[in-house]
Chains A and B, each alone.
Chain A
Amino acid sequence: DQQVKQNSPSLSVQEGRISILNCDYTNSMFDYFLWYKKYPAEGPTFLISISSIKDKNEDGRFTVFLNKSAKHLSLHIVPSQPGDSAVYFCAAAIIQGAQKLVFGQGTRLTINP
């Protein structure tokens, strides 16, 4: 049973526009959420995170929104740049539990010039 789901396998956005990547989760015990970015032939790298006590966290061009009632989070990238083309993974954890992250399936983002 997939506890963290990214229902869009791919997304194509024009350079300069907003990219919105979505993620849903089913386990209400999750209290920490992260986004990782992955380029081909490399390991994932941390991008941005949010605690369940917040509904928004911003870091430069990246903003993560959390809607706990809907068990939904989204990553906004504004403006999108060609270097943003990568696979993005949503992940969730229970901070006081075992130190384990649960990942979504990933969304491949392509930024078109």
Chain B
Amino acid sequence: DAGITQSPRHKVTETGTPVTLRCHQTENHRYMYWYRQDPGHGLRLIHYSYGVKDTDKGEVSDGYSVSRSKTEDFLLTLESATSSQTSVYFCAISGFAGGFEKLFFGSGTQLSVL
């Protein structure tokens, strides 16, 4: 395993509540990403980080925020969860620019918003 852990693995929450998903790595990799996987859409990038406190938006960033206060942790927050945010969320890490072959994914978090 690439030393990447997502928590929680499963979460059920109610519409309007805040939710935070955590991605923790032990590889000291610079790049970290949050993707969501939905049927018919594949994997879509939400946000990514290229260093501590350096983040940027992906293609589906509305309704999500991220924080990276230390190299090993990348947090994804849904400020007020909606049913459209029910999805499987994957964190990924990469050690260097262009290193897509070395893009390692976590096992995912299944989030259900009721």
> CB within 8 Å of B: which residues of A?
4, 6, 9, 32, 34, 41-46, 49, 89, 91, 93, 95, 98-106
B62 CB-CB contact with A under 8 Å: no
Chain B interface size band reads 20 to 34
> CB within 8 Å of A: which residues of B?
31, 35, 40-45, 48, 50, 56, 58-59, 90, 92, 94, 97-98, 100-108
**Is the Cβ of B42 less than 8 Å from the Cβ of A106?**
yes
Known: A45-B105, A49-B101. A103 touches B43 (CB 8 A): yes
Bound CA–CA A8/B17 (angstroms): 37
**Is the Cβ of B107 less than 8 Å from the Cβ of A46?**
no
**Is the Cβ of A101 less than 8 Å from the Cβ of B90?**
no
Task: Give every chain A residue within 8 A of B97 (Cβ-Cβ).
Answer: 99
Task: Give every chain B residue within 8 A of A9 (Cβ-Cβ).
Answer: 40
- A selection of 6 A-B contacts at a CB cut-off of 8 Å is A45-B105, A89-B43, A91-B43, A95-B98, A99-B94, A99-B97
